């Protein structure tokens, strides 16, 4: 599995439409999607799923008004329940040989441990994309969401015990069996296990809200500075694990702390707001912002870590009311390197 900063052919997205996810925020959320596509389309192809023809026409109108690079946007009429492409979409892999080839892993998507039965219908989306791309598919009888794994492209994977060892995912598999599956399916040699995810994360602790590779040897890890906050101790434990961890070559990793925004609430419930839920695309890094004083600090840290990319913040207070942000709704399709 290539690292996210490797060259992309495309980014896959689904157009937001579910009013159960965003009862009052849907129009603001759609504005964020338009801005994402506006930023991504000059850099790489954007493949967008919509539910019907009226939606397709509406999207074209919005993107035209935003002056997005429409010639680099492909819209497919494939109905979805919701937008969480990172979790129900394909996880792309590349076979290294004399002639590299693209394929992807299709794992079971069970609505984040059976929490949302209607969302399990989106498990078919990966198969729909396979028929469009005509690439080999590795079907695995294992529950795994894309947001629960993070790789450096050289053989190291990050994940969490709270998610992958949860009995609502693969109760028949041991820790060792899950680790072997990750090694075989992602082409990694080392799996680094963190503990728990942040408060409010209904995915049971996805890694893409707490720790991310920014290059093969550097990880950003969110930390809570307020010792009275519920997230404080669990994030300190994750930080300590990373500081002791080794990569695929038994080398220590550089760990860069990334702040947490202040608590974000909707209807009395705390939301999983995290600056770690950024997306690395060709030439640009899209970062969720939460109208918080720490927004500027987080952007500054990521700007220093991505000197070859434009780091752009997107207002995601409305988006995270749906319990996810930018990384949760994107899925990169790597560009296949040409042969020798």
pLDDT tens, position by position, for the chain (340 residues)? 999 999 999 999 999 999 999 999 999 999 999 999 999 999 999 999 999 999 999 999 999 999 999 999 999 999 999 999 999 999 999 987 656 689 999 999 999 999 998 888 899 999 999 999 999 999 999 999 999 999 999 999 999 999 999 999 999 999 999 999 999 999 999 999 999 999 999 999 999 999 999 999 999 999 999 999 999 999 999 999 999 999 999 999 999 999 999 999 999 999 999 999 999 999 999 999 999 999 999 999 999 999 999 999 999 999 999 999 999 999 999 998 765 4
| pTM listed for this prediction | 0.97
Catalytic residue flag (residue 328): yes
CA dihedral 88, 216, 183, 338 (to 10 degrees): 80
SS3 assignment for 120-184:
HHHHHHHHHHHHHHCCCEEEEEEECCHHHCEECCCCEEEEEHHHHCCCCCCCCCCHHHHHHHHHH
Q: How far is CA 86 from CA 29, 146, 253, 285, in A?
A: 17, 5, 26, 16
Q: How many residues does the chain have?
A: 340
Quick: pLDDT tens for 186-222: 999 999 999 999 999 999 999 999 999 999 999 999 9
**Distant-in-sequence, close-in-space partners of 267: CB < 8 Å, separation ≥ 6:** none
What distance in Å separates the CA atoms of residue 88 and residue 145, rounded to the nearest whole number?
7
Q: CATH number of the domain at 8-334, out of 3.30.450.30, 3.40.50.300, 3.75.10.10, 3.40.50.150? A: 3.75.10.10
Selected catalytic residue, list 47, 107, 163, 328: 328
What distance in Å separates the CA atoms of residue 282 and residue 45, rounded to the nearest whole number?
10
């Amino acid at each position: 599995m290539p690292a996210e900063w490797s060259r992309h052919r495309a980014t896959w997205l689904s157009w937001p439409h579910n009013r159960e996810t965003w009862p009052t925020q849907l129009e603001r959320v759609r504005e964020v999607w338009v801005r994402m596509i506006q930023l991504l389309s000059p850099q790489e192809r954007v493949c967008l799923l919509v539910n019907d023809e009226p939606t397709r026409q509406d999207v074209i109108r919005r993107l035209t008004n935003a002056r997005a690079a429409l010639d680099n946007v492909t819209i497919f009429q494939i109905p979805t329940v919701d937008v969480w492409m990172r979790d129900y979409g394909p996880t792309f892999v590349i076979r290294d040989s004399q002639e590299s080839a693209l394929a992807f892993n299709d794992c079971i998507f069970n609505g984040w441990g059976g929490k949302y039965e209607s969302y399990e219908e989106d498990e078919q989306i990966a198969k729909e994309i396979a028929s469009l791309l005509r690439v080999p598919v590795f079907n695995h009888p294992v529950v795994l969401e894309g947001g629960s794994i993070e790789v450096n492209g050289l053989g190291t994977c990050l994940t969490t015990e709270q998610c992958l060892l949860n009995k609502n995912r693969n109760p028949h598999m041991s820790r060792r069996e899950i680790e072997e599956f990750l090694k075989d399916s992602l082409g990694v040699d080392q799996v680094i296990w963190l503990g728990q995810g942040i408060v409010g994360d209904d995915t049971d602790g996805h890694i893409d809200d707490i720790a991310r590779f920014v290059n093969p040897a550097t990880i950003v890890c969110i930390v809570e500075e307020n010792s009275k906050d519920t997230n404080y101790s669990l994030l300190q434990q994750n930080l300590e694990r990373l500081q002791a961890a080794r990569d695929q070559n038994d080398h220590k990793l550089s760990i860069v702390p990334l702040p947490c925004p202040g608590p974000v609430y909707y209807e009395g419930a705390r939301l999983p707001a995290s600056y770690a839920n950024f997306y690395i695309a060709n030439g640009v890094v899209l970062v969720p912002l939460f109208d918080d004083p720490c927004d500027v600090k987080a952007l500054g840290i990521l700007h220093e870590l991505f000197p070859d990319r434009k780091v752009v913040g997107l207002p995601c207070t409305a988006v995270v009311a749906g319990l996810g942000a930018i990384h949760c709704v994107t899925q990169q399709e790597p560009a296949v390197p040409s042969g020798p």
